[in-house]
Every structure is written in C-alpha cells, then in structure tokens.
Structure 1
C-alpha cells in the first residue's frame, strides 16, 4: 500500500530523526496561480554544489535514480542523479514523473477542503449523509468526514499486500504485487474490503492510519460534484497550482511519457522487481498520483502560502491529532492533520508535509509553515531499508547517504540561520 504517516513511515521518521538530532493535468486554466518571478538556481556560496554532491552520494550508495528539490524563497535547486533505467543506462531527469504514493492524500484533502469552503461538504457531518449505502447504520452516523481526513475513523486498511510474517513473506508479497499489477479492482472494491474488516478503534478515539479513509474521501468528492474524484482533483487542485508533471493514470498501467523505472531490492546491484508499469486505480485518491519533487514543492508552497485554500480551511487542515503511543526518539513528526503531517525541527521551527512509499518509490515533502522553505525528494527504489529482529533500523549505505542529503538540505534550505 501507500506509505503511511505511522504504519509505514519508519524509514522516513528515522532519517528525519538524524536531522532533528543535528541540534493528468498539464494545461493551466483561468484560475491557475500567477507564475512567480524567476529565482536563481543556486547561490554563489556553493549551496548548489553541496546539495548536488550529497544527492550524487545517494546514487553512488546504490540508489538507481533520485530526484530532489530544495529552496528558501530566494533560490531553488532542482536536480536528479543516477539512471532512470538500469538496463539502458538512460540518465535520470528531475522532470520525470514518478509515483508518490501517500503524498496523494494532501491533494485529496485539499480538494475536500475546497468543497468544504463552498459548503458542499460538512467536515463534521456523518459519512452516512454522503455514502448511505457504503457506510450505513450506526457506524456511518458516528464516523464524520473529519475522522476520515485525520485517520481517527477506526476503519481498517484494505491491505492487499499485507502478508503474515515468516521466512517466505517477501516471496508472498512479490506474488501479490504481480497479481495486483494489472488488477481491474476499483476504489469501491478497496473501500468494501477495508470496511469489512474489524474496526481498529472506536470512531474519534485515536489516530490509526488507513488508506481506506482516503478512498472514501474520493467517493464523497464524486458524490457531491458528480465528477470522478481524480478528474476533480486534476481540474481544481493540480491545474490551479500550475503543476506540469503531476497527474493520475486512471485505469491505465503505462505512464504515457518519459519516466524512470520503479525498482525493488537492496540496491542497484540486487534488484528483485520492477514496477513502473502498474495499474493503481484501486489506490486512487489514497496513493495513485504521479509527480516530481519540484511540482510537489510548488504545490505545498502554494498550499501553505494560502493560495489554494481560504484561511479557515487551511487552519482546519493544520489541526493535528497526535499518533498513538510515544513517537520514536528523535523523530520530528508531531501529528497528523487533515492530509498534512506536522514536523518540528529543534531550533528551526514548524514544518508540514507528507510521505509515501510503494513498490519502487519513496517520496517525502517538508515545507516551512509560511511555505517559503522546502525540501522534497523522490527515490526510484524501495526495499533498501533493513531492520533487526526487534524492528530497529539497521544502517545501510543508501540510508546513511539519504540522511546526509537531508542534513545538508536542513543546513542549506530549511534552517540556514541555525
């Protein structure tokens, strides 16, 4: 499934802990954002070279391809390193769209909150008002739209790739991936499976991340607009932000433009699968979006800068629920709002973003509260993380290189004055 804030956020949280411990739409429409004046690609003091060296080190450590974007409102840096295709050696480019998994949720939440601003969705209304036959009865009355958006509904994950732990778990997961690659499953199928499972908690009691919540949000968007949710997000969020490389594939499995492969494995020398061709309709508004680091930066900066939502709805988005249990030592994560993850970097301030992962991709976004400073990256390999018998992350060359890249991004872009 798409990588989550808590359940599948371990690798990102661990990498950001190191930072904390340092002390289908391409055509603009009428309401698109006005383009900002150009900013220099790098500063003369070597910032660009420092970040580029750190990015190249991630590739050298075994990552096939990596893209990243950083900036502080005065300058921006967009770069790619490595290869897009291990077989042909085709070079990686920073404008290659790649699946960004659960980062999709922020786009979906933004669409829902735009509809809330238009009084078409009531965040505190019961889900049964919009989906009476999908979430009927007492359950549909107790669960609100807000609970779906902040993952406090108690609705379970649909979990197509969840397998029992054991020596053959990886083999089982690969078999399920192959079975899912060209599946004709629709979002409604995913919703039905998640709802059929026992609740993970009572509605509103605590945060329990589940992709099913955002499939249901997509279904609500469709119900109130009469338009497929992916199309609505493309027209009213993606195009409005002026993004050029961000889109849904819908029912298609093949990406219709130049792109990178999506690998699984320990590193570029130990590849176990390639999943760039994959029909993701079943994950839809929970995790099927394709984008680039620079597009993600533009979107999140526009969102946090108040150019996509009215102030009241942006404030609602930032009302976070803490994760269940104590956060891992050193993590910067502080809670989940309505499609936004809150971070606090000691000595630097408050940041927002989202992360995501699926077979062959890992993505992360971190943007300052005012939308000026950002760091985003997208990887083209998953599975490099390793853990011991207690679930603690074991350092790997790729992981250490990625931590260094994040460290440099914090120093150069996010917290340069610290």
Structure 2
C-alpha cells in the first residue's frame, strides 16, 4: 500500500510538471497570434473618444451585416447603446420627403418645374419673396433662397428656450411665416443655402397634391413597403418610442455632454427633420432607394444630379448629398441632427453597401469628422 501511494504521488507530480511545461510552451505561441482588430469597432471607439456619450454604427454589404457600439445610452450609467435603438434622424428625413415628391412626379401628379405659387398660392410672398419664381426643384435642391426657419425656434437654440418650449406645437404655415421675416438669401437658382423651410414647403405640397398628410404619405410609400419597423413620423408627440438612448444637447456652448433633450415636440421639423428611425432601418431605406426600389430610373437620376453646396463642402442633389470616397469615386447620403442626436448615413451608387452611425450627444470638436470618416472608410472596406 505504501509503495502504491508513492507511485500515485509520483504520477501527480509528473502530471503537474507536464501541465506547467505545456502552459509555458503554449503561451508564446498564443501571444504570437493576436486577434485581428475589428475596423468598425475601432472607428466607433474613435468617435466615442472624441467626446460622444454613446455611439452605435451598422454597416451592410452583400452577405454581411455588422454592428458596433461604444459609450453609454445614458450619461452617468453603464447602460449600453441599444442594439436596435431608435433616434431622431434630423435632416436625413429630407431623403424621405424628396423620395415622396419624386414618386409623385413619376406618377404625373406634379412637376419639378412647378412653382410654389401653383400649389401654395399666396404663401411665399412679400419681403422680397415671389413664390411664382421658386420651383419644387429649387426647394429640394436648397437653391430657392428662402431663409431657414430653425433660428426662430427657441427650443432649438438655448437650454432656457428648450425647457420653456419643448412641448410647443408649430403649424407648417407658422414655420413658413417665420422664415418670411428675413429677406431671401439670393434669387431662386442663383445660389445655394441650406434651409429647412424648403422641406416644410415640400411637405405642404405633398398634402396639397395628394389630399393626405406628409406623414401618411411617408408611411404608405416608404415605411410600410420597406417594412421599416423602427421608423415613425411622430407629428407633435414628444417622446421617442421603443428602445432608445437619451440625447444630450449643448446648444453651442462647447460642452460635449449638455442637457438631456430627449423629450421634444418635433412639429417644427415636419418634412425636414422629424422622423424617428434606427440604423437598421436607415441602411434598408438608403439601399432600397439607390437600388431603384422606390423610384423609377428617371426620377432617381434627377435625385442624384448634384450642384455644388459650398456651405457643406459637398455636392447636393434632391434630398441627397454626394460625397467623395477615400478609395476613389463618391457615395450618396445625408447627415442629420436634432437636439443631441447626430447621424451620418451613406450608400454606394449601386446601393450594395450602406453605413450608418449615430451618437446621442453633440460630442467634441472632432466628432462629426470621425463619423463622416467611419461612413467613408466602411463603404470602401473589403470584407473577408
């Protein structure tokens, strides 16, 4: 029995020694094969490091779909950005509005060369304005010269104004009236200036042509056919439905965190910036748009025919911007912002690759550039 115990102890010592030797020999080998860095995650991390509270990105290419997130959905917590989180897409809404208008053009209900006066008589007049000389094309292309409404909206311009008027409802007529307070930036077709008022007017023309609201037409023509489950047109409802990150706006103070501005009546952005969506739905929408699922070739050609947009440093079509790709060529897309929620969306010309990223705060000095870089690099990236 004693001899047997000695043999067992010897075996245990030998076995332990072998285990130590195996571990020692396998360590350097494992270290010599570091895991390959995830390019999307690295770019998302860079956006977070620029000062954003939370970041979420999604890309889609033939046979692949990737997501990455960093930061938090709520300041001061460890709550991660939701996987299918919804957010206010801001000016990316213009791509939806322009698509509906161009569908109506394709159906023969109106022309891009129709005047604003034809559809909305007497609305754009006075103080140097003449709706008879402004066309539907001018509105969608931002070449109308009509001033932007948003500088007149207190809830969007200061923390004090936000707290006082975040639940206020605006009518489209009221918004246009605010823009008429200041004379035109230039005569129609003689310049380029980004103006949300153009798309408020476009939403009103949609109602006049169809007899139905802009929101109803967007739902019937885009949201329902594409099964965009996370996308909605909230009207005057001030809440973001479903899973979502909080948004934080600094109101130009230079503070990356700012105040919680998640609750907002977005009626001041009808047609121009009020849609709520998700990265999943935006990749689906922009891919379908450039693949020709929403517009006939003639209308898609009109949409993607661009003019210089010096304010943005890009080219602009009808509800779409054209931007250079770092690997050569160009892509289409649209940025968006509404009180802390910022997004960049991009799609290749053939609609095969899309990239969408959003943050839930104004972030730091380099946040917007980092977001734009992510979209361009991801559209260029070769996936294995």
- Residue 294 of structure 2, aligned match among 279, 301, 308: 308
Query: How far did 1:76 drift?
Result: 1.4
- Residue 238 of structure 1, aligned match among 220, 223, 227: 223
- Residue 75 of structure 1, aligned match among 48, 64, 68: 64
Is the CA contact (8 Å cut-off) linking 2:343 and 2:359 kept in structure 1?
yes
Is the CA contact (8 Å cut-off) linking 1:72 and 1:414 kept in structure 2?
no
Query: How far did 1:176 drift?
Result: 2.4
* Cα distance, 1:384–1:179 mapped onto 2, change above 3 Å: farther
User: Aligned-residue CA RMSD in angstroms?
Assistant: 2.9
Q: Which moved more, 1:177-186 or 1:138-147?
A: 177-186
> Residues 95-116 of structure 1: CA distance to partner in whole angstroms, max 9, x if unpaired?
1110111000000000110111
* Cα distance, 1:113–1:194 mapped onto 2, change above 3 Å: same
Q: Quick check: 1:128 aligned with 2:117?
A: yes
Q: Quick check: 1:370 aligned with 2:355?
A: no
Query: Secondary structure at 2:319's aligned position in 1?
Result: coil
Q: Runs of 5+ in structure 2 lacking a partner?
A: 1-34
* Cα distance, 1:142–1:305 mapped onto 2, change above 3 Å: same
Query: How far did 1:347 drift?
Result: 3.9
- Structure 1 segments (4+ residues) deviating >6 Å: none
- Residue 147 of structure 2, aligned match among 151, 156, 163: 156
* Cα distance, 1:315–1:359 mapped onto 2, change above 3 Å: same
**Match in the other structure for 2:239:** 254
**Match in the other structure for 1:168:** none
**Match in the other structure for 2:26:** none
**Match in the other structure for 2:201:** 216
> Residues 143-173 of structure 1: CA distance to partner in whole angstroms, max 9, x if unpaired?
011100101111101133689xxxxxxx972
Q: Distance in 2 between matches of 1:121 and 1:259?
A: 38
Is the CA contact (8 Å cut-off) linking 1:353 and 1:365 kept in structure 2?
yes
Q: Distance in 1 between matches of 2:363 and 2:53?
A: 12
Q: Distance in 1 between matches of 2:377 and 2:343?
A: 20
Is the CA contact (8 Å cut-off) linking 2:240 and 2:263 kept in structure 1?
yes
**Match in the other structure for 1:414:** 380
Q: Distance in 2 between matches of 1:160 and 1:187?
A: 15
For residues 182-197 of structure 1, what are the structure 2 equivalents within 5 Å?
A: 182-197=167-182
Give the length in aligned residue pairs: 347
Which one has a bigger Cα radius of gyration? Answer: 2
Query: How far did 1:81 drift?
Result: 2.7
- Residue 74 of structure 2, aligned match among 71, 85, 103: 85
Is the CA contact (8 Å cut-off) linking 2:345 and 2:375 kept in structure 1?
no
* Cα distance, 1:270–1:347 mapped onto 2, change above 3 Å: closer
Q: Distance in 2 between matches of 1:255 and 1:411?
A: 30
**Match in the other structure for 2:31:** none
Query: How far did 1:412 drift?
Result: 4.9
Larger proportion of helix: 2
Higher relative contact order (CA 8 A, sep 6+): 1
Q: Runs of 5+ in structure 1 lacking a partner?
A: 1-45, 164-170, 386-395
Query: Secondary structure at 1:296's aligned position in 2?
Result: helix
> Residues 43-101 of structure 1: CA distance to partner in whole angstroms, max 9, x if unpaired?
xxx88833123323433554221111113323111233332122554321131110111
Q: Distance in 1 between matches of 2:66 and 2:83?
A: 10
**Match in the other structure for 2:260:** 274
**Match in the other structure for 1:284:** 270
Q: TM-score, normalised by structure 2?
A: 0.82
* Cα distance, 1:68–1:47 mapped onto 2, change above 3 Å: farther
* Cα distance, 1:59–1:191 mapped onto 2, change above 3 Å: same
Q: TM-score, normalised by structure 1?
A: 0.76
